[in-house]
Amino acid sequence: MFRLCLKRWTLRRKTLVFIFVGFIVFFLADLKLRPLITSVAANRAQVISTSIINDVVHDEISRQDVNYSDIALLEKDPNGHICAINTNIKKINLLKTSVCIAVQKKISEIKNDDYKVALGTLTGTELFNGRGPKIPLKLSLSGSVKANFRSNFETAGINQTKHQLYLDVSTKVFALIPGYPTNSTIETSILVAETVLIGDVPKFLVK
């Protein structure tokens, strides 16, 4: 009877030791893999979000038939020289709002995005990067979007200035691979319209 109890205790102790060692191994593996997996998730989120932003902006520009003269209104002095550029704030706000709504909607539709990462990449070792069997991962996205117009002037030749209007889109994305959440901020600038102005650089005004 004593021997039987001793065997049971020994078996129970070995089981507890095995469970404890397994927990330590899992904890250390998670500690090693967590920053690598969250980095993979952030990179994947950036690729997807940037593609969505570019597609949405170009689609909205085409749909709303936006061109330079729709956004920038040139003011001239009595001599015909451009003295100021005013913005069509209504048109700008319409484009910004439609872009933000469409981008946010498309990002929120990314649920369980399937993609694969080489096992060697998850080791964090440059030698094994991109090598080994592919590990399937699933990514879900959500986030918020902000957009602002930016004006840029640059020399285009003698007495000529290129005026460019950019839409800067900033997206705060929450990316989730089950068990490995991460947050990223993706910023993208897209040229909306441009023209070449003749004469001195005028003032750019927002109305």
In tens, the pLDDT along 171-206 reads 888 877 766 778 888 888 999 888 887 766 655 544
Geometric angle at alpha carbon 179, from 177 and 182, rounded to 5°: 60
CA distances, 167 to each of 16, 71, 117, 170, 196 (Å): 60, 12, 33, 10, 18
pLDDT at 100: 92
- How far from each other are the two terminal CA atoms of the chain, in whole angstroms? 94
pLDDT at 99: 92
SS3 162: strand
pLDDT < 50 positions in the chain:
2, 4, 23, 26-28, 205-207
Q: Listing from the earlier edge strand, what are the strands of the sheet with 160-177?
A: 113-118, 134-157, 160-177, 180-198
Range of the domain at 127: 2-205
For the chain, the domain total comes to 1
